[in-house]
């Protein structure tokens, strides 16, 4: 258990921050390697099939990729300080909120970083200096190209337009409004110890929202308890926090509003994305809470996210499924999760995440592959 893992990541990366906080909390021995362009396009792409982070190399020479399956992988090997409760209802809701936080807060995180001039200039300069330092181009050209590329792919290319901008920003400010009273009363989302949902929200709240100038100011001014939680989770260690979960079959009252957001916004979007993928469409339109998103990219990975949530529900003990279904129905989550039944992504038909085996359709570096 003392063998050292190698974490390849970026100091500006959404999911690197999430996974590193988890490894710190679990006290997994690791060393960190900052992934430059040469590392991305060399060993990481060679061993994983894509040029993105975080990636973990194990002491046995295995390569792991994708933060959520990696957490499950490490949980099986480092059981102390488990981030999933034993109670099936709480465990399923942790997985649901983690998936929501991972994928739904992504759009506002990238919008704030690349739509606001001050933020874009700062982060473009950082990425040019830290990640692209080994590219044989002038620094100003590297910074300009990264700003232009990130805005084109992750802002304009991901449905952020005049008619949706207020909704996109409301996803962030609404999340702060939901989390602030909850975290003002208790140290972590489920109470006295971190759960999987904490690390899901941490991904965006740390590297993006608490550090990029514009959203960081909003967090400091409107949600100081969330700001404190970011530092608390980064500093948390499993042997220095509480050990109790809430009473089985219960959730903190503050989770009600979060689950309603999942049911109103995220799960209907996941369904529309899955239908578009099934029908062979590269882009699709989707109204979310009244906001008219147009030409959203159909993302295969998020089809798999929906499948995975369905798998987790079906893996629940039979005696727990009724209570979980009743909770999901009460918050508007059940119907969009199961609308049109299962829609297959076939993303992992020939591998078992997080273990990496480069897939033929991922050997080229695509615009959507690298996303600091």
CB 295 within 8 A of CB 283: yes
Q: How far apart are CA 22 and CA 33, in angstroms?
A: 17
Architecture of 5-80+351-362 per CATH? 3-Layer(aba) Sandwich (3.40)
User: At 200, is the pLDDT very low, low, confident or very high (cuts 50, 70, 90)?
Assistant: very high
Number of Cβ within 10 Å of residue 110's Cβ equals 24
CB 328 within 8 A of CB 100: no
State the average pLDDT for the chain: 95
What's the chain's length in residues? 372
Q: Average pLDDT, stretch 26-33?
A: 97
Per-residue pLDDT at 316 exceeds 90: yes
Per-residue pLDDT at 362 exceeds 50: no
The backbone torsions φ and ψ at residue 34, rounded to the nearest 5 degrees and listed phi first, read -75, 125
SS3 annotation, 98-113: HHHHHHHCHHHHHHHH
What pLDDT score was predicted for residue 97? 98
What pLDDT score was predicted for residue 366? 38
Residue among 198, 200, 199, 204 at smallest CA distance from 183: 198
Q: How far apart are CA 93 and CA 116, in angstroms?
A: 34
Q: Which residues pair with 55 in a beta bridge?
A: 8, 65
Q: Which residues pair with 65 in a beta bridge?
A: 55
| Strand 30-34 with 5-9, pairing | parallel
Q: How far apart are CA 16 and CA 123, in angstroms?
A: 16
Listed in sequence order, the residues at least 6 apart from 114 whose beta carbon sits closer than 8 Å to its beta carbon are 120, 123, 147, 150, 151, 154, 155
DSSP 118-150: HHHHHHHHHHHHHTSTTSSS-HHHHHHHHHHHH
Residue among 109, 149, 110, 156 at smallest CA distance from 128: 149
What pLDDT score was predicted for residue 10? 97
Q: How far apart are CA 93 and CA 200, in angstroms?
A: 12
Per-residue pLDDT at 240 exceeds 90: yes
Per-residue pLDDT at 368 exceeds 50: no
Q: Is the pTM here over 0.85, yes or no?
A: yes
Per-residue pLDDT at 371 exceeds 60: no
State percent of the chain over pLDDT 70: 95
What pLDDT score was predicted for residue 2? 61
144 dihedral zone (left: phi>0; alpha: psi -120 to 50; beta): alpha
Q: How far apart are CA 114 and CA 212, in angstroms?
A: 10
pLDDT tens-place string over residues 10-23: 999 999 999 999 99
CB 191 within 8 A of CB 252: yes
pLDDT tens-place string over residues 217-229: 999 999 999 999 9
pLDDT tens-place string over residues 101-144: 999 999 999 999 999 999 999 999 999 999 999 999 999 999 99
Per-residue pLDDT at 177 exceeds 60: yes
Per-residue pLDDT at 259 exceeds 60: yes
What pLDDT score was predicted for residue 361? 43
Give the burial string for 312-343 (b: 16+ CB within 10 Å, else e).
bbeebeeebbeebbebbeebbbbebbbbeeeb
Per-residue pLDDT at 69 exceeds 50: yes
SS3 32: strand
Cis-peptide, bond into residue 318, ω within 30° of zero? no
What pLDDT score was predicted for residue 3? 83
Q: Average pLDDT, stretch 175-203?
A: 98
């Amino acid at each position: 258990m003392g063998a050292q893992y190698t974490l390849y990541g970026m100091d500006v990366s959404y999911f690197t921050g999430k996974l590193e906080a988890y490894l710190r909390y679990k006290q997994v021995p690791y060393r960190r390697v900052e992934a430059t362009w040469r590392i991305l396009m060399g060993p990481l792409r060679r061993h994983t099939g894509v040029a993105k982070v975080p990636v973990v190399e194990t002491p046995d020479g295995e390569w792991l990729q994708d933060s959520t399956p990696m957490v499950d992988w490490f949980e099986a090997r480092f059981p102390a300080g488990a981030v999933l409760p034993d109670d099936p209802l709480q465990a399923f809701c942790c997985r649901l909120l983690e998936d929501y936080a991972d994928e739904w807060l992504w759009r506002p995180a990238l919008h704030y970083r690349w739509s606001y001039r001050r933020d874009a200039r700062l982060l473009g300069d950082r990425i040019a200096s830290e990640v692209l330092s080994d590219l044989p181009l002038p620094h100003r050209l590297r910074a300009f190209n990264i700003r232009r590329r990130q805005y084109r792919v992750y802002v304009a290319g991901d449905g952020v337009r005049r008619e949706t901008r207020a909704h996109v920003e409301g996803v962030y400010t609404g999340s702060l409004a939901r989390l602030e009273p909850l975290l003002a009363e208790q140290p972590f989302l489920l109470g006295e110890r971190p759960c999987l949902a904490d690390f899901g929200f941490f991904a965006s709240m740390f590297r993006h929202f608490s550090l990029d100038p514009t959203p960081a100011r909003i967090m400091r001014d409107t949600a100081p308890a969330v700001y404190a939680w970011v530092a608390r989770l980064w500093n948390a260690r499993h042997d220095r926090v509480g050990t109790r979960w809430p009473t089985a079959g219960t959730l903190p009252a503050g989770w009600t509003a979060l689950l309603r957001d999942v049911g109103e916004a995220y799960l209907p979007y996941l369904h529309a994305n899955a239908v578009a993928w099934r029908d062979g469409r590269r882009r699709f339109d989707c109204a979310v809470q009244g906001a008219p998103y147009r030409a959203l990219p159909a993302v295969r990975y998020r089809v798999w996210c929906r499948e995975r949530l369905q798998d987790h529900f079906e893996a629940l003990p039979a005696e727990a499924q009724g209570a979980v279904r009743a909770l999901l129905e009460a918050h508007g989550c059940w119907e969009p999760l199961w609308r049109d039944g299962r829609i297959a992504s076939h993303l992992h038909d020939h591998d078992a995440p997080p273990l990496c085996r480069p897939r033929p359709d991922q050997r080229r570096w695509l615009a959507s592959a690298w996303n600091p």
